[in-house]
């Protein structure tokens, strides 16, 4: 059960922090188990790139490992080095591959480079010729036009009997570009191409599906699934309810002030008050990843008709008014009883009462960006499984 209030005695720093995060590692572990269940009989990895989507690779990696994950994906080698201490016997794949000068780092930390270009492949061939066998993975492009060997080059490599004996890929993978739209016919096109790649690399495990692909069904699962955003409580498929919420972001109320009807609010005077109002000034802004596009007004960069974000305090949804600034945001708390809110209280920016993706949509973006853009000023509290 997710419980963001299970620790009634947080640290002193947490209790007075200007901005703070509560990360429910029990919910995180439950979400991994749920994605494992949905993956059926195949293994389920955990994607912990970008500092575990902004929530902390050390604590999140430990939670996934203790839940049973033994395959992990990171973006860059240094993330893999950090993770190794917390997942001692796991297989850690580095999605950006390997560069000259990183050989020792990969060998000493038993990291698996994901080779995604002819240049990386040629370099890796020379590395294993000199240093001996070490596992690698191959990424194949099936329509994303991002990273990966071309479909034709991958098939040619599979049939190349002259490749070095020490070249021993343990995984072939690709990535769906429209998995979040189950109705897209392009998912089937990518699947059929990848089925050919998988068959060509007979005896080597295959992986196609991240979070969204898992929901497309068993055909897309192959040998290993790679959930990411779903583990952290974000939406992976449009219109589908996410799994358990994992993170709550809060900001402290610095001041509650009265403001007269007709007055203006924040930079540019883009919001004019239509009534006698009470305003809560809170200590979070775009330097904390609370995006400027969440402003209640005055941000032409936002499209789609959103009126801006809301926060949650004392049982009420309260709107952002005026522009979000670097360190401060202003909420209209006129409809919250005066006795229910005071200086020093905390307002929920996103969390169990303000769903991550609802807030992201208000900014014209996605939950991934809010999580990975969290600033350095957040004091963190982790709720561990019992």
Fold of 40-226: TIM Barrel (3.20.20)
The first and second tokens of residue 271, run together, are: 């919001």
pLDDT value at residue 5: 62
Query: How far lies 334's CA from each of 24, 223, 269, 346, in Å?
Result: 31, 55, 19, 16
Contacts of 217 (CB under 8 A, 6+ apart): none
**By CB neighbour count within 10 A (0-12 exposed, 13-18 middle, 19+ buried), where does 141 fall?**
buried
Are 358 and 368 in contact by the 8 Å Cβ rule? The answer is: no
Q: How many CA atoms lie within 13 A of 356 on its CB side?
A: 28
The first and second tokens of residue 344, run together, are: 């020093």
What predicted TM-score, i.e. pTM, was given to this entire model? 0.94
pLDDT value at residue 9: 46
40-226 shares its CATH topology with 247-383:
no
pLDDT value at residue 299: 76
Rounded to whole angstroms, how far apart are CA atoms 96 and 20?
Answer: 31
pLDDT value at residue 3: 64
Residue 282 β-bridge partners: 253, 329
Residue 261 burial (CB count, 10 A):
10
- Given 3-state DSSP classes, what are the helix, strand and coil percentages for the chain, each rounded to the nearest 5? 30, 25, 45
Rounded to whole angstroms, how far apart are CA atoms 211 and 273?
Answer: 43
Give the closest residue to 294 by CA, choosing from 286, 245, 265.
Answer: 286
Are 171 and 208 in contact by the 8 Å Cβ rule? The answer is: no
Domain ranges across the chain: 40-226, 247-383
pLDDT value at residue 305: 57
326 is in an annotated binding site: yes
Give me the tens of pLDDT residue by residue for the chain, a chain 386 residues long: 456 665 544 568 999 999 999 999 999 999 999 999 999 999 999 999 999 999 999 999 999 999 999 999 999 999 999 999 999 999 999 999 999 999 999 999 999 999 999 999 999 999 988 888 899 999 999 999 999 999 999 999 998 877 777 778 999 999 999 999 999 999 999 999 999 999 999 999 999 999 999 999 999 999 999 999 999 999 999 878 899 999 999 999 999 999 999 999 999 999 999 999 999 999 999 999 999 999 988 876 655 556 789 999 999 999 999 999 999 999 999 999 999 999 999 999 999 999 999 999 999 999 999 999 999 999 999 999 87
Q: Does domain 247-383 have CATH number 2.40.37.10?
A: yes
Catalytic sites, residue numbers = 49, 267
**By CB neighbour count within 10 A (0-12 exposed, 13-18 middle, 19+ buried), where does 172 fall?**
buried
241 is in an annotated binding site: no
The first and second tokens of residue 262, run together, are: 């007709």
């Amino acid at each position: 059960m997710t419980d963001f209030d299970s620790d009634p005695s947080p640290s002193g720093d947490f209790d007075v922090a200007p901005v703070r995060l509560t990360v429910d590692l029990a919910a995180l572990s439950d979400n991994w188990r749920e994605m494992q269940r949905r993956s059926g009989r195949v293994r389920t990895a955990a994607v912990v790139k970008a500092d575990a989507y902004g929530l902390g690779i050390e604590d999140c990696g430990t939670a996934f490992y203790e839940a049973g994950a033994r395959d992990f994906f990171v973006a860059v080698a240094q993330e893999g080095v950090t993770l190794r201490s917390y997942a001692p016997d796991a297989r850690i794949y580095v999605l950006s591959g390997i560069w000259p000068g990183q050989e020792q780092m990969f060998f000493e930390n038993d990291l698996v480079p994901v080779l995604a270009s002819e240049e990386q492949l040629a370099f890796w061939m020379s590395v294993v010729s000199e240093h001996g066998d070490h596992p690698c993975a191959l990424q194949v492009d099936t329509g994303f036009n991002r990273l990966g060997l071309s479909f034709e080059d991958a098939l040619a490599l599979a049939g190349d009997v002259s490749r070095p004996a020490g070249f021993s890929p343990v995984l072939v993978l690709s990535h769906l570009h429209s998995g979040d739209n189950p109705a897209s016919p392009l998912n089937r096109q990518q699947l059929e191409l990848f089925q050919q790649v998988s068959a060509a690399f007979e005896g080597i495990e295959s992986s196609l599906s991240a979070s969204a692909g898992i929901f497309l069904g068993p055909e897309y699962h192959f040998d290993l699934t790679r959930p990411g955003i779903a583990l952290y409580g974000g939406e992976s498929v449009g219109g589908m309810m996410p799994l358990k919420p994992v993170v709550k972001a809060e900001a402290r109320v610095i001041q509650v002030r009265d403001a007269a009807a007709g007055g203006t609010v924040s930079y540019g005077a883009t919001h004019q008050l239509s009534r006698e109002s009470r305003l809560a000034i809170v200590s979070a802004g775009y330097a904390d990843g609370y995006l400027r596009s969440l402003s209640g007004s005055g941000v032409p960069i936002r499209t789609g008709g959103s009126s801006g974000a809301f926060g949650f305090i004392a049982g009420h949804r309260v709107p952002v008014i005026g522009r979000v600034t670097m360190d401060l945001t202003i909420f209209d708390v006129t409809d919250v009883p005066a006795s229910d809110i005071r200086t020093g209280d905390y307002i929920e920016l996103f969390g169990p009462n303000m769903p991550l993706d609802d807030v992201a949509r208000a900014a014209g973006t996605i939950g991934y960006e809010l999580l990975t853009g969290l600033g350095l000023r957040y004091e963190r509290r982790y709720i561990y499984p019992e």
